[in-house]
Structure 1
Amino acid sequence: MNVLNRWMVAAGLCLAACSTGVLAGPVMDRVQSQSVLKVCIWPDYYGVTYRHPRTQELVGIDIELSAELARDLKAKVEYVESSFPTLIEDLGQDRCDVAMYAIGMLSQRMEKLAFTQPYLRSDIYAITTKSNAVVKQWSDIDKPGVMVAVQAGTFMEPIMLQRLKSATVVKIKLPATRERELVAGRVDVFMTDYPYSRRLLDNADWAKLVEPPEPFSVLPYAYAVKRGDDAWLATVDAFVSRIKADGRLQRAAGHHGLSAIVVR
């Protein structure tokens, strides 16, 4: 069963529920009673939920769209810092009502969380340095001795561990970063997705993008909520349907350079 079919089974939503927009349920009751929507974000996700290091301003497609969701629910948005390694715990412990930072719909996450329909999708890309003599094209990556970095907890980690047969996968855990490891020469290349690749190409003159010659591992992104509250899932899913239909998704994607990966 593919990921999209798994989403439909896991969601268990009827068309009538999805069309109503707001349904009663524990999370919705709390949001309405407190007039606050708690949104988990990862503030280092360029183009998605990114805190500018100089201004400290939060920007990105899901900063814009989370404000739209809060406006639709007549609530104010409250951001809760999260990360991919802590995502399941943060939702499970009710630290936030919804995770809105382009959550990849991985099977292991879908077993623990409930997902809306996808709104973005991305393949895997490689970043190396322009001066790197080891990796110049995609076919250079999976070779003996090549050190391939992945951010721990991201969807790239299990995929690269499975797909690479000769290269060595290096898991990068915070506070270490893939960029520092690459520039220092401790790895030859790191794997990332479309939004994060934009960060390097926009801001680092040393960065070189290596694209797969054909689709490598395209993954849909969605919003995630705690399992067990189907009414809240239907409410957030209905929001995704609305922003696809009324143009808000496409406009927000255009503001942040992500139009190419929108799921229409």
Structure 2
Amino acid sequence: MRKLSVLRWGLALCCGLWAFSGHAQEVLERVKNAGVVRVCIWPEYYGVTLRHARTQELTGIDIDLSAQLASDLKVRLEYVDSSFPALIGDLTGDKCDVAMFAIGVTEQRAEKLRFTQPYLRSDIYGITTKSNQVIRQWADIDKPGVLVAVQAGTFMEPVMEQRLQHAQLVRIKLPATRERELVAGRVDVFMTDYPYSRRLLDNADWARLVPPPTPFSVMPYAYAVKPGDAKWLAVMDEFVARIKRDGRLERAASANGLGPIVVR
């Protein structure tokens, strides 16, 4: 009876490994067979993957580079709307083949997903209003009574949760936005990255940047895929290496105002 149980366990393990091995080929084969690569984007990411509210046109570095990916693979490109809170579920739930919207490589995400080599990196910046008297410089942020906002699901959330010693962290969940909470006076400052800070500075006359005097928490950004598919990850990683070598990354970054944060 014991030998039979061991045999059944061995067969189950063998079959499981066989199924896992077959799964490892699934994404690339499906992309090639279907003739389409499905790319998850967050359509509110200025300079990265932004959908214009009126025209519905998509612009940004990863709109340009996802088109290059599809061209390299010789397949059509299909976008799937996602977000940072939905990212892991969308990839592991097979809603898209790859997430291309400057994904911060956090420890929490690395436990659930697999990442290419980084192609961008950004520090954390504060955004407040020009009229705000509480936050004048970076040193004013972590003080008693200060309300510091982060968008739930972004890499700023765990970083600020760990680093703040005196200020109160306020997590903003969609459909609420950091901008509305700040302008309404319900928070004093919100934390964001370089691309999103450019959106505010380029489009909001009330916004003021609060940069750290020295590097605070620099985060590498990469493309993400679901685990268990080494072949597909290798394809995506080689794509990133290739666009670094041939200049396409540099050109796309410069065209979208992100030249200063390129990983060369």
Instruction: Give the alignment's TM-score, normalised by structure 2.
Output: 0.91
Give the superposition deviation at 1:147: 0.4
Q: How does 1:211-250 map to 2 (within 5 A)?
A: 211-250=211-250
The one-character-per-residue Cα deviations of 1:127-161 (angstroms, maximum 9, x if unpaired) are 00000010010000000110000000000000001
Match of 1:114 in 2: 114
In structure 2, the partner of 1:128 is: 128
Distance 2:185 2:109 in 1: 33
What is the distance in 1 between the residues matched to 2:63 and 2:191? 24
Q: Distance in 2 between matches of 1:178 and 1:56?
A: 23
Displacement, 1:250?
A: 0.2
Distance 1:55 1:217 in 2: 36
Q: Which residue of 1 aligns with 2:28?
A: 28
Structure 1: gaps of 5 or more residues: 1-23
Distance 2:189 2:78 in 1: 36
Tell me if 1:92 matches 2:77: no
Alignment deviations for residues 3-62 of structure 1 (CA, whole Å, 9 cap, x no partner): xxxxxxxxxxxxxxxxxxxxx921110000010000000001000000111211110000
Counterparts of 1:38-187 in structure 2, within 5 Å, are 38-187=38-187
Give 5+ residue unaligned stretches, structure 2: 1-23
Whole-angstrom CA distance in 1 between matches of 2:228 and 2:243: 24
- Report SS of the residue matched to 2:196: helix
* Aligned amino acid, residue 57 of structure 1: E
Amino acid at match of 1:110: A
Which letter maps to 2:205? D
CA distance in 2, matches of 1:183, 1:32: 48
Letter in 2 for 1:208: R
SS at match of 2:142: coil
Structure 1 distance, partners of 2:143, 2:56, is 40
Match of 1:203 in 2: 203
SS for the counterpart of 1:77 is strand
Q: Number of aligned pairs?
A: 241
Using the TM superposition, give the Cα deviation of residue 63 of structure 1 relative to its aligned residue in structure 2, in angstroms. Answer: 0.4
Which residue is equivalent to 2:9? none
Query: What letter matches 1:241 in structure 2?
Result: A
TM-score normalised to structure 1 length: 0.91
The one-letter code sitting in structure 1 at the alignment partner of 2:37 is: L
SS in 1 for 2:208: strand
Amino acid at match of 1:122: S
Amino acid at match of 1:157: E
What's the % identity of the aligned pairs? 74
Partner of 1:3: none
Q: Based on CA coordinates, which of the two structures has the bigger radius of gyration?
A: 2
**In structure 2, C-alpha distance between the alignment counterparts of 1:251 and 1:138, rounded to whole Å:** 32
Kindly provide the CA deviation profile for residues 102-136 of structure 1, in whole angstroms up to 9, marking residues without a partner as x: 00000110111010000000000000000001001
